[in-house]
Copies of this chain bind each other. A is one copy, B any other.
């Protein structure tokens, strides 16, 4: 009996303006050598503490960055998804500010619109579609979208990110009420955003205990 192939694959998502983009990397090895696909690799039992650690290792090697948020998405499996044989892909998704992803820009990386994926190697289109659905759904009732903002952001900037993900305008008063209810943000002292034509706006950031840890709303936005 041939052993099952065990890999991790990560959907790296960022917002480029109002466009949700996913990062693909040119594959270095067969199968699908030189074709753009999700960053992934084999689990290394000798060094990985678990699949989560394996996903972090693969991202570090391929992008050079530590992502601020990485969460398990789902596991995809079967005899046909990989030409090498029966395989398991433990899929993760990571969110990061576009500026951070752009720093990691390497010749091997391309960014494509996450809502308009065409054919990709393996079942990577299905994995990306699953990640995008998870992100849009969880945006309704958690701090997840905050990871797409930079370390600090104004409330109007954050509302715009939520609106982009939820694809609908949100009422400013109720958005702020929900953010207050989650109690996951704190003002950054002595820092105001003075850019733009408006008067300076207060900058916020995620409280330390909520960085890497989602805070949930009992009732959604």
Contact = CB atoms under 8 A, between A and B. Distances in A.
B78 A50 contact: yes
Interface residues of A: mostly helix, strand, loop or mixed? loop
A74 B77 contact: no
Given A75-B72, A78-B50, A219-B220, A45 B2 contact: yes
Interface residues of A, number: 26
A51 B88 contact: yes
**Residue among A49, A77, A85, A90 with the most chain B CB within 10 A?**
A77
Nearest to A137: B216
**Residue among A4, A46, A72, A85 with the most chain B CB within 10 A?**
A4
Given A1-B46, A6-B4, A220-B220, A90 B72 contact: no
B72 A50 contact: no
B79 A45 contact: yes
Contact of A45 (B86, B140, B220): B86
A196 interface: no
A43 interface: yes
Interface string A63-82: 00000000010110111000
A47 B93 CA distance: 30
A201 B78 CA distance: 46
Contacts of A3: 3-4
Interface in A1-18: 1-4, 6
A3 to B, nearest CB: 3
Nearest to A75: B75
Contact of A79 (B4, B49, B78): B49
Interface in A125-167: 140
